[in-house]
Amino acid sequence: MFESLTEKLQNTFRKIRGQGRLTEKNINDALREVRLALLEADVNYKVVRDFIGRVKEKAIGQEVMRSLTPDMLIMKIINDELTQLMGGEVERLRVNPNGTTVIMLVGLQGSGKTTAAAKLAKRFKSEGKRPLLVAADVYRPAAIKQLQVLGDQIDVPTFSMGTATKPEDICEAAVRHARNNGYDFVIIDTAGRLHINEELMQELERIKGRIEPHEILLVADAMTGQDAVNVAKEFDERLDITGVILTKLDGDARGGAALSIKAVTGKPIKLAGVGEKLDALEEFHPDRMASRILGRGDLLTLVEKAERAIDEEKAKQLEKKLIEKRELDFEDMLEQIKQIKKMGTLDQLIDMIPGLGKLKGKGLQADEEQLKKAEAIINSMTPEERRNYRIINGSRKLRIARGSGTSVRDVNRLIQQLIQTNKLVKQLTGVGSKKARRKMKNLFPFTM
């Protein structure tokens, strides 16, 4: 996410580092680089022009405080302006306090509406709410089936009336059904087209008039850059959308759509799709996103992901085991891997840790394959071998390697990792229970 933009901005900051004060010349030189970086990131030209003007106005005449270097001051100003550019504050979904909340998803075909509907439903269900999915795309029978399959995966019902009924009639019946049966949220998956046309817009306007949704969310593909911004503008002019769900943000190295949509349409990005899994939907935090763009990480999101991934009962069991037995086994290691995978890809996690993101191209690699390899090796062990690695002799190693599609060398390496971890565990658990617990939380932050 924003990889190219982040790298170019950091190069700009390095160029003015060490200069005694900010002058109009070095500010202009720096902002010329920033302007090019933003344009290359596919940010709207007018948005870039206005953004550079605001940064320049704030930077000129600023005295560099003792605690800040010129690059730090410019970075702070750009951070503040990026945050404002993307909306300033988190814009949360509108919720009907007196009954069922109706959410209408709109967008072009292929933007990810159906998957976004399921992700929203899963999010609401995890919060203890009762969501209802509505299949209103009557032109593609596969869309109805896809929504039903996704609904079954997350145990959320899908309301459908087939392909012979008008979409506005389906939506009206679905909202009535939801209100009569105590559903908290109705999530309507509408039809899309390959491009915006009058027929599509008239249909969406009819649906809006019949159900009066609390939210009309445009689902836009971040990978399409400025096209996503243009689509947002046109949908907003016809439907007065309330916000945007930006999908595939994890795959967009440029980030132009995220930086332009709010400025061009005036409507906020409320949610971001950051992966293919149905729980890979995050609230869009402008301040955290600005921090990521500047290569400063996003520890708050990382902590929130860790908290959601934690299984409290298993965490207590592991804590008790560490204090009493002072040793981990491969079942514990497998559980750690599962907890980490719940939080997202290793690339995403590294980007959230301040200072690590910029090292990815300089030797630091998020090796997802090593994680998969370790999981495969452990899954090829018998329960007895997982609980007691000391019984894994040569013949067992050969069987495990063959079963996991790896080599005996890989199996040996994983055993050595567990041995080294247990040496550290013994050191830490030998320094008193309270201090040990505190240090063990630092060693295993995702489970304790």
Tokens 């249909």, located at residue: 203
Residue 431 is predicted with a pLDDT of 46
Q: 2: which residues sit within 8 A by CB, 6+ positions away?
A: 41, 252, 253, 254, 255, 258, 292, 293
Query: H or E segment at 403?
Result: helix 394-404
Q: 10: which residues sit within 8 A by CB, 6+ positions away?
A: 294, 295, 358
φ, ψ of residue 400 to 5 degrees: the values are -65, -45
Output the tens digit of pLDDT for each of the chain's 448 residues. 567 777 788 787 777 776 666 777 878 888 888 888 888 888 888 888 999 998 888 887 665 555 567 777 788 888 888 888 888 888 899 999 889 999 999 988 888 899 999 999 999 998 999 999 999 998 887 889 999 999 999 999 999 998 888 999 999 999 999 999 999 999 999 988 878 888 889 999 999 999 999 999 999 888 877 788 888 888 999 999 999 998 887 765 566 788 888 888 888 999 988 878 888 888 888 888 888 787 765 445 555 555 555 555 666 665 666 666 667 888 888 877 777 766 666 555 555 544 445 545 444 444 567 778 888 999 999 999 998 989 999 999 999 999 999 999 999 988 988 888 777 767 655 544 444 444 444 444 433 3
Residue 101 is predicted with a pLDDT of 94
Structure tokens at 442: 């630092």
Helices (H) and strands (E) in the chain, counts: 20, 8
- The CATH architecture annotation of domain 3-85 reads Up-down Bundle (1.20)
SS3 236: helix
* Domain 101-296: CATH class, spelled out: alpha beta
Buried-state track 403-432, b at ≥16 Cβ within 10 A, e below 16: ebebeeebbeebbeebeebbeebeebbeee
Residue 320 is predicted with a pLDDT of 66
Whether CATH 1.10.260.30 fits 310-443: yes
Domain boundaries, the chain: 3-85, 101-296, 310-443
Residue 166 is predicted with a pLDDT of 92
The letter for the amino acid at 439 is K
Model pTM? Answer: 0.67
Distance between CA atoms of 413 and 405, rounded to whole angstroms?
Answer: 15
β-bridge pairing 185-189 and 281-283: unpaired
SS3 31: helix
Distance between CA atoms of 354 and 376, rounded to whole angstroms?
Answer: 31
Residue 345 is predicted with a pLDDT of 60
